[in-house]
Amino acid sequence: MEQLEAARWKEAAAALNAAVVQPLSGAQGTYEIKYWGATPGLKANPYHKHSFYEICLCTRGGGTYREKDERFRIEPGIAFCSRPEVYHQIVPDPDRELYLLYIAFQAEPDRLPPEAGAMFELLREEGPPLIRQAAGTPAANLWLALLQLSSSGLLWEKSAELLQQVAYSLLLTFPSLFAADRLQRGSADPVKPVSIMLDQARMYMKDNLAESHLTGQVARYLHISERHLSRVFRRELQMTIGEFIRRERIRSASELLRKSGLPIKDIAEKTGFGTVHYFTRIFRQATGWSPAAYRRSISEPDARLPAEERYGSSQMLI
């Protein structure tokens, strides 16, 4: 990799911190920049954590990156990602100066498109430290371009806008750089569009209503976090996962009451309510009828069910 003189590194970091420490917004969401760094001869830092992401790229020298009880070599071309709330430490080699580029930023899934949010959720989840050979990747090339553009000899009147554009592009490269192996471990497919993910989640829940802890099961099935899954349900369906599961259990139980001769106890177990007492209480809250009364009403063609008045047959009971 090409190197700039140490003095110009500091000038470049100052220029970036002056021009590009603010929320950066675009078609792929909003990212809040905390700070930039371009440090020649980095000294060892304490074992610490952040509430945000910090991503570093080594361009010269060497050292050790520590995360929890694991230690990894830092060499030129190595990039590493320190995740929010994860303790870490950087220790340079005693006989070599460590040249490090770094950026700290917030990437809140609620401020990102669903696919980008899912990628950052993958980064944030518990797993092996995020260490990558980045030499020659778009991320490394954009970072070095930023370093050169922000050096004093190349600044001009409207350069701040260009720096912000390149910085935003750099941020968009991080999920693919660091999440690639996690995506491969979870699925051979790329991150699913939210509509496909939501359809798969709903189908899984409908097919497994008798199971407990459905939210965790679905999240593991889709290889996303429970928190991200909950956000998708609230954003796309305007309901919580618990509300969706309850609605589907009521719908399924109603169908079994209408079309089968199963005992109410068996229906309660089959639809995930567990006990007859709990089933009766929730079913009455949702429909205005006890399960037994609802089943009896089926033989009365002129009866109009309270649940149909409240929810409409297409939403609750069919």
Please, what is the Cα angle at 307 between 304 and 310, to 5 degrees? 105
pLDDT for 251: 92
Compute CA distances 269 → 211, 266, 272, 283, 296, whole Å. Answer: 9, 5, 5, 13, 20
| Listed residue (186, 198, 292) closest to 241, CA to CA | 198
pLDDT tens for 66-104 read 998 888 999 999 999 999 988 999 999 998 889 899 999
Domain that holds residue 307: 243-311
Please, what is the Cα angle at 21 between 20 and 23, to 5 degrees? 95
Q: Are residues 166 and 87 in the same domain?
A: yes
Q: Are residues 63 and 111 in the same domain?
A: yes
Name the average pLDDT for the chain.
81
Q: Are residues 14 and 111 in the same domain?
A: yes
Q: Are residues 220 and 282 in the same domain?
A: no
Q: Are residues 80 and 227 in the same domain?
A: no
Q: Is residue 318 part of a domain?
A: no
pLDDT for 300: 64
CB 65 within 8 A of CB 90: yes
Q: Is residue 209 part of a domain?
A: yes
Q: Are residues 172 and 273 in the same domain?
A: no
Q: Are strands 99-106 and 53-60 parallel, antiparallel or unpaired?
A: antiparallel
Cα(164)–Cα(16) distance, rounded to whole angstroms?
9
- The number of domains in the chain is 3
Count the Cβ atoms, other than its own, within 10 Å of residue 106.
Answer: 17
The CATH number given to whatever domain includes residue 282 is 1.10.10.60
Q: DSSP states of 58-111 as a string? A: EEES-EEEEETTEEEEE-TTEEEEEPTT--EEEEE-TTSPPEEEEEEEE--GGG
Q: Are residues 26 and 123 in the same domain?
A: yes
The tokens describing 140, both together, are 């490394």
pLDDT tens for 114-155 read 777 777 877 777 666 778 888 889 999 998 888 888 875 555
Average pLDDT over residues 301-308: 49
pLDDT tens for 170-204 read 998 888 788 765 554 444 344 455 677 788 888 88
Q: Is residue 316 part of a domain?
A: no
The CATH number given to whatever domain includes residue 92 is 2.60.120.280
Q: How buried is residue 252: exposed, middle or buried, by Cβ count under 10 Å (0-12/13-18/19+)?
A: middle
Q: Is residue 95 part of a domain?
A: yes
Q: Are residues 131 and 217 in the same domain?
A: no
